[in-house]
Amino acid sequence: MRINKTFSYKGLKFSLICTLMIHVSFAQSKVDSVQKVDEIVIKAYITEQPILKVPASVSLISNKQLRDQPGITMLPALNAVPGVRMEERSPGSYRLSIRGSSLRSPFGVRNVKIYLDELPLTDAGGNTYLNLIDVNSINNIEVLKGPDGSLFGANSGGVVILNPTNKKADSTWASADISGGSYGLFHEKIAVQKKFKNQYLNINHSYQRADGYREHSAMNRHFAQLMYRMNYSKTNQLRVLAFYSDLEYKTPGGLTLAQFTANPRAARPSTAFVAGPVAQKARIENKTLYGGIVNDAKIADNLRHVFAVYGSNTDFLNPFITNYEIRKENTAGIRTYFELSGNQNNQVNWKWNAGLELQGTSADISNYVNNRGVQGNFQAQDDIISRHFFYFMRFSANLGEKLTAEVAASLNHYRYVFSKDISPATTRFERDFDPELMPRFALSYQISELLALRTSVSRGYSPPTIAEVRASDNKINTSLESETGWNYETGFRLRNNTDRLWIDASIFQYRLQNAIVRRVNADDTEFYLNAGGTRQTGIETQASYWLIEPGSKGFLSGLQIQNSYTLSKFFFRNYQNGPNNFSGNRLTGTPQSVIVSGLDFRFQKNFYLFAQYNYTSKIALNDANSVYSNSFDLVHFKAGWRSSKPGKPVFDFYAGIDNLLNETYSLGNDINAFGGRFFNAAAKRNFFGGIKLTL
């Protein structure tokens, strides 16, 4: 069955109109009459540098951009970045993909490497529990799009770096935030930062709950985070980061098109043969303790050394329709590197980085019969140890004031060890993947202070994760191979000399080999196989302009327009699955077009309003492209009042509406679902509001 809906160009027209407004407004403004807006600086490539000259597709989600959103999830802020798609099947159940990497992720995050400060949040098995993190504990987010193993190891999607604090913050403060909304939404956060001479201690706790829009989709999360920073000299710093997260959310299951149309709020119903998620009390419980230490030391004027050690413990429980899974996971690792810098005749400034990252994850996975939410008879058990380590080296040089060149590579080693201790025999299986080199070559040429061109070539590599090698069918897949591919990219960045205007655009082509795809058996268990490959061509643009500069006098004290556009021409190639040939079909789970536009209003007397529009085109829901989701248009806004008297407590009152147009849509589809159960309805029009006090 195919949902027939002609592709709508209204989103593209809206995007072009917004971009035209930015250009026209810029042309009409008087540059010498405005104040300078803060320059965008990123830290992803080890040292701080202006984003204009960085020879990579990098986006920064600032603290302000995170706070413009409802403050419940990272989803709307991440989805405003072109090429990034975050999905929510139900509260607490998230997927994150960069440039189509959700193809192999029924839930969670795979094929994207995520760091918390200098500490890997992604474990050695390739999985990341991003849903454990409270968005209000994050200061800003940096997104590196496309394969980037030069400093970060195996991935074929990209890298996300969560920066939990502003390392330059040097004040003592306390804050409390409470908010609520439709469908039982409640969120609270308390945070304190204390300064002790050259030491800083930051502690925050948050609690979030929601009943959910759908039946059987409630969630609860307790999150506590501790950060300690000590500047034990002018150039040396020790940082300690730890968090504990206790997350539980119910899983309502996917609906068929008929069920989705009749009652989108329903959970998957039971049948005469299979009990549904309500009857089986399907849910996920995740209790994780994570901690790490980072020592950042300047050994000499031109030599810096960073050493990080970390570990985590996870208790994971997942009563599902077909079984009752219990996982015990432990991860430990180190990350260390040197940075040597130099200058030759004031013409060549260079930096050389070399280091390694080593981590191991042990997972004890047991499956039992699920007797309506109660653990039943034993089904299967596996002890899995995954080891991942890589060496990396990067050399970058600024040749004069215009040309920046970068050569980098990482050598990646992966190994899995599986063992079963089932009486009367013990079985053992080892899989060593061949070492893989991930090189990256990049150039940036700054034509003027306002315009820079860039180009890069990089290789992607991503071995199968534990959840793919040992999927829910409880079988060890020894034939699953790693994804590899080459990405070719070029782009430009444009600004004006006050940084009121910002435009970033890129075009890329990525050819992936052995793409990993998900398939589902008739009993709802899943397995994975390698498709022949993909051909992914994309265009990404992002623009912003302050039509009225911040701090202006008048009814409006500031007005910024923002726009991002993603065009994803992603197709399978050489993909044969039994008698079915899917070559030439669209990549499953990825929309062809996404447009996100925003307006940031600042009024006199500290009133503000942020409005955002998201257009997402239809999405192929299976590899055969026989079923598509409809396109959708989302509008949300947040308005409030924030006091700002120096030396006085800061109050922030806010309220907003999500899904203003009351769209019926699925924000997290189950791709390649058996029986046509693709759809997970998102909430209709809903409301939120809250208050924040900072001392």
Averaged pLDDT for residues 320-347 = 92
SS3 of 342-386: EEECCCEEEEEEEEEEEEEEEEEEEEEEEECCEEEEEEEEEEEEE
Given a cut of 70, is residue 388 above it in pLDDT?
yes
* Structure confidence at residue 525 (pLDDT): 78
pLDDT for the residue numbered 497: 85
pLDDT of 468 higher than 70? yes
Taking only the tens place, the pLDDT of each residue in 661-688 is 999 999 989 988 888 999 999 999 999 9
Specify whether the CB–CB gap between 151 and 408 falls below 8 A.
yes
**Residue 38 above 70 pLDDT?**
no
Each domain of the chain, given as residue ranges in start order, spans 10-694
pLDDT value of position 471: 80
Query: How much of the chain exceeds pLDDT 90, in percent?
Result: 67
667 within 8 A of 658, measured Cβ to Cβ: no
563 within 8 A of 543, measured Cβ to Cβ: yes
Would the pLDDT of 693 be above 80? yes
Rounded to whole angstroms, the Cα distance separating 299 from 354 reads 15
Rounded to the nearest integer, the mean pLDDT of the chain is 89
Q: Provide the 10 A C-beta neighbour count for residue 167.
A: 17
Half-sphere exposure of 405 (CA within 13 A, CB side): 7
Q: Which of 114-123, 134-143, 175-184, 338-347 has the lowest mean pLDDT?
A: 338-347
Signed CA dihedral, 484, 485, 486, 491: sign only: negative
Q: Is 291 exposed, middle or buried (CB count within 10 Å of its CB: 0-12, 13-18, 19+)?
A: middle
Average pLDDT over residues 328-349: 91
pLDDT for 14 equals 52
pTM: 0.92
Contacts of 262 (CB under 8 A, 6+ apart): none
Distances 246 to 168, 361, 363, 499 between C-alpha atoms, Å: 30, 20, 19, 42
Chain-centre distance for alpha carbon 165: 18
The per-residue pLDDT for range 82-132, each reduced to its tens digit, is 999 999 989 999 989 999 877 776 677 888 899 999 999 999 988 999 999
Q: Which two tokens stand for residue 681?
A: 């309805």
| Residue indicated by tokens 């959970």 | 267
Note the pLDDT tens digit of each residue in 623-647: 999 999 999 999 999 999 998 787 7
pLDDT at 219: 97
pLDDT band at 27 (very low <50, low <70, confident <90, very high): very low
pLDDT of residue 3 exceeding 50: no
CA distance 104 to 107: 9
Tell me: the pLDDT tens digits for 243-272?
Answer: 999 999 999 999 999 999 999 999 999 988
Measure the CA–CA gap between 668 and 682, rounded to whole angstroms: 8
Q: Which helix (H) or strand (E) holds 76?
A: helix 75-79
Q: What class has domain 10-694?
A: mainly beta
Over the stretch 576-626, which tens digit does the pLDDT of each residue have? 888 889 999 999 999 999 999 999 999 998 999 999 999 999 999 999 999
Q: What is the pLDDT of residue 28?
A: 44
Question: Largest Cα–Cα distance in the chain?
Answer: 82
Specify whether the backbone of 435 is left (phi greater than 0), alpha (psi in -120 to 50) or beta.
beta
pLDDT band at 330 (very low <50, low <70, confident <90, very high): very high
Could you tell me the strand order of the sheet in which 158-163 lies?
Answer: 58-61, 140-145, 158-163, 112-116, 119-120
pLDDT for the residue 167 = 67
Question: Residue 8: pLDDT above 50?
Answer: no
Output the pLDDT for position 422: 59
Residue 640: predicted pLDDT: 96
d(CA 186, CA 206): 11
Residues 206-224, mean pLDDT to the nearest whole number: 97
Residues 6+ apart with CB under 8 A from 542: 59, 81, 82, 502, 503, 504, 505, 563, 564, 565
Cα separation, 109 vs 98, in Å, equals: 10
pLDDT at residue number 25: 46
Is residue 421 within 8 Å of residue 444, measured between CB atoms? no
The pLDDT tens digits for 427-455 are 778 889 999 999 999 999 999 989 999 99
Look up residue 463 and give its amino acid. Answer: P
